[in-house]
């Protein structure tokens, strides 16, 4: 999804986060680990296929970690990596902008992540 100059930091970041649902997946993982079904429930309207594709793409980018537990049935949890947590200030800025300039309300802010 080359949106411009790959050497431009804004373009490179946009390539990661600007896919439909992607920023919302990151927002929902800000609170910690989550299972696929929990993400699907919190993202009303997303199809399982789209969620799977977004999670896979974020995993390939190093933004999301996928942990599989050897249980029956197998349990899979997703969480943000350090690279993913570094995106949270962008989401908070978007939340602030939306409240101030667009009159929008959404999910409460996640607890700040210690560096």
Structural domains in the chain, CATH included, are 9-102 (1.10.10.10)
CB atoms within 10 A of CB 115: 6
pLDDT in tens, 15-41: 889 989 999 999 999 999 999 999 999
Q: How far apart are CA 41 and CA 43, in angstroms?
A: 5
pLDDT in tens, 97-114: 998 999 877 655 444 444
**Which position has the higher pLDDT, 56 or 107?**
56
Give the percent of the chain with pLDDT over 90: 67
Q: Which helix (H) or strand (E) holds 49?
A: helix 48-60
Mode of pairing for the β-strands spanning 34-35 and 64-69: unpaired
């Amino acid at each position: 999804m080359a949106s411009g100059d790959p050497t431009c930091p804004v373009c490179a970041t946009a390539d990661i986060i600007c896919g439909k649902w992607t920023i919302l997946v990151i927002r929902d993982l800000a609170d910690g680990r989550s299972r696929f079904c929990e993400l699907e429930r919190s993202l009303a309207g997303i199809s399982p296929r789209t969620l799977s594709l977004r999670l896979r793409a974020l995993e390939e980018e190093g933004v999301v970690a996928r942990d599989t537990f050897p249980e029956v049935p197998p349990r899979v949890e997703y969480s943000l990596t350090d690279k993913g947590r570094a995106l949270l200030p962008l989401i908070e800025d978007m939340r602030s902008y939306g409240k101030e300039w667009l009159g929008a309300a959404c999910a409460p802010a996640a607890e700040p992540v210690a560096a």
